[in-house]
A and B are shown apart, each in its own frame.
Chain A
């Protein structure tokens, strides 16, 4: 391999991508199993599933854009839009189920007033629960989180494509880096978070440090991979 200035740029891009993924997870309203039973605010599944969903959609979108252009900015934008569409669709259809099938009013138990709409929250929080559904602030926060995750995923994918030139390999490698950062971030928030208004959000510097260290070790090996002519196969 040739170590040059571009290698350092590749490493930086992968590290920044990993950090964006790690911080982005803090914005996504992850409710976990309690939310699946409408007993907590957020989307009713775990961080890893949400991160995988929005990350993979973002990667697919970014990969599609990368097949027609090498310009970084449209690739990042496409990745972000792909991830945002995925998470918004999840939150929207989830909201329909919470509203029309479960019949729960959307309320956050972490704040007294929704920071965006200013609506009062406590009267609507059912006793014994920590909120239900996906209130406006969570929806907006989730969209921001998906934006960061999508940009992060695309930012990991882009240098990998330039390094090894194999879309399949870059994608699966990016998924690996994505999962490591997403899981570290989800451990930091201990599984559930409502969004940027949640007190747990203040813990993001811890995830920043963790993801910085982990992404750096991953980036070092990512740039060591060189394209080797392949032959045979299907």
Chain B
């Protein structure tokens, strides 16, 4: 059940418009930079850049979840994360396939992004007009969410396959079933932050830091998949990158949790120095 945080408008330090631009540009730059560097060097060493790029999209998505769900949608936060990834997977496959049909694989993410933004807006319209949610940020939030899901799926797919070509993504990510791992880990990275932090004391920076932290765990997961597709060393590289991101943001998140807590007391399970 969703408990409304700030019922009317959740206080935000970072404007959603700014996060949207960072999210879209950051993810696209990550995807294309990884692909260009991989092609230039003839290796798949730089695939982890795409995995890091996905984190920008995740932050944009987590912020959209936060904005929409603070009104209370009645079904729990996970539903909206799964909706985001459901829209994202359709858009990603459609975009990559259409790009391949035109013979321009690099166009795939752009087509997918445009389709997903339109579709997200339409679903938002349906939710508000047909179902009568009357949440003012619904259209905007679902547009962001759909785009974030698409960018996360494409970026992590590139991180596993090492290339943007449709045929290698189908062979390395879809036929192997790794897409299911991206689906769930990406969904968690987008839906979990607000699900874990919701409540009257929810703070935007704490929620978003949590999103990057879960994104780091997702990179570890894509790294495990990359062990099979790119070999031992490159897979391990991605796992280490994911672990470093997770650790850095976990420590940061812990600091913010202590900042927002009324008091931090030990129960004896952890040594006092760990608190």
Are B172 and A226 touching (Cβ within 8 A)? no
A230 to B83, CA, bound (A): 29
Binary interface encoding of chain A residues 22-65 relative to chain B, with 1 for a CB under 8 A from any of its CBs, else 0: 00000000001110000000000011110010000000000000
B164 contacts the other chain (Cβ, under 8 Å)?
no
B132: chain A residues within 8 A (beta carbon): 206
* Residue-wise interface mask of A (191-234) relative to B, using a CB-CB cutoff of 8 A (1 in contact, 0 not): 10000000000000011011001100110011011101111111
Q: Is the CB of A183 within 8 A of B90?
A: no
Q: Do residues B1 and A168 form an inter-chain contact, with CB atoms below 8 A?
A: no
- Interface residues as binary, B81-95 with A (CB distance below 8 Å gives 1, 0 otherwise): 011011111110110
Measured in the bound complex, the distance between the Cα atoms of B79 and A186 in whole Å is 8
Docked-complex contact A183 and B80, CB < 8 angstroms: yes
Q: Name the segment of B17-25, B118-126, B259-267 touching the other chain.
A: B118-126
Q: Contact at A233–B172, with CB atoms within 8 Å?
A: yes
* B-chain residues with CB within 8 Å of residue A177 when the two chains form the complex: 86, 90
Binds A, one of B69-77, B201-209, B241-249: B69-77
Indicate whether A141 reaches chain B with its CB closer than 8 angstroms: no
- A183 to B119 Cα, complex, angstroms: 15
Q: Is the CB of A187 within 8 A of B171?
A: no
Q: Are A168 and B177 in contact (CB under 8 A)?
A: yes
Q: In the bound complex, how far is the Cα of B170 from the Cα of A229, in angstroms?
A: 10
Min CB distance A152 to B, Å, is 14
Structural contact, B86 and A186, CB atoms closer than 8 A: no
Whole-angstrom CA separation of A194 from B171 in the bound complex: 43
* B4 CB–A CB distance under 8 Å: no
Interfacial residues of chain A within 165-183, with CB under 8 A of chain B in the complex: 166, 168-169, 172-173, 175-180, 183
Contact of A184 among B94, B98, B127, B175 (CB under 8 A): B127
Q: Does A132 contact B (CB under 8 A)?
A: no
A226 and B179 CA atoms in complex are apart in Å by 19
Residues of chain B with a CB closer than 8 A to A206's CB: 130-132
Q: Pick the contact of B89 from A34, A173, A188, A191 — CB < 8 Å?
A: A173
Which of B126, B127, B228 interacts with A234 by CB under 8 Å? B228
Check: B38 CB closer than 8 A to any chain A CB: no
Please determine whether B82 and A187 come into contact, CB atoms closer than 8 angstroms. no
- Give chain A's interface residue range (CB within 8 Å of chain B): 35 or more
Q: How many A-B residue pairs have CB under 8 A?
A: 156
A218 lies within 8 A of B79 (CB): no
Residues of chain A lying within 8 A (CB to CB) of residue B179: 168, 172
Q: Check A179 against B86 for contact (C-beta < 8 Å).
A: yes
Q: Please, which residues of chain A bring their CB within 8 A of the CB of B170?
A: 166, 169, 228, 230, 233
The 8 Å CB contact of B87, one of A52, A176, A213, is: A176
Q: A32-B76, A180-B123, A213-B122 are in contact. Are A233 and B131 (CB under 8 A)?
A: no
Q: How far is the CA of A38 from the CA of B202 in the complex (A)?
A: 28
Q: Are A179 and B168 in contact (CB under 8 A)?
A: no
A180 and B87: CB pair below 8 A? yes
Q: Chain B contacts of A190 at CB under 8 A?
A: 74-75
Instruction: Give residues in A with beta carbon < 8 Å to B.
Output: 1, 32-34, 46-49, 52, 166, 168-169, 172-173, 175-180, 183-184, 186-188, 190-191, 206-207, 209-210, 213-214, 217-218, 221-222, 224-226, 228-234
Write the residues of chain B forming the contact surface with A, with a CB cutoff of 8 angstroms: 1, 73-76, 78-80, 82-83, 85-91, 93-94, 97-98, 100-101, 115, 119, 122-123, 126-127, 130-133, 161, 166-168, 170-172, 174-177, 179-180, 183, 228-229
Q: A168-B176, A176-B93 are in contact. List 14 more A-B contacts (CB 8 A).
A: A32-B76, A46-B78, A48-B76, A48-B79, A172-B180, A172-B183, A173-B93, A176-B86, A191-B1, A222-B90, A224-B94, A224-B98, A228-B97, A233-B229
Can you list 15 A-B contacts (CB < 8 A)?
A169-B93, A169-B174, A176-B89, A180-B123, A184-B123, A184-B131, A186-B79, A206-B131, A214-B122, A221-B90, A226-B101, A228-B100, A228-B167, A230-B167, A232-B168
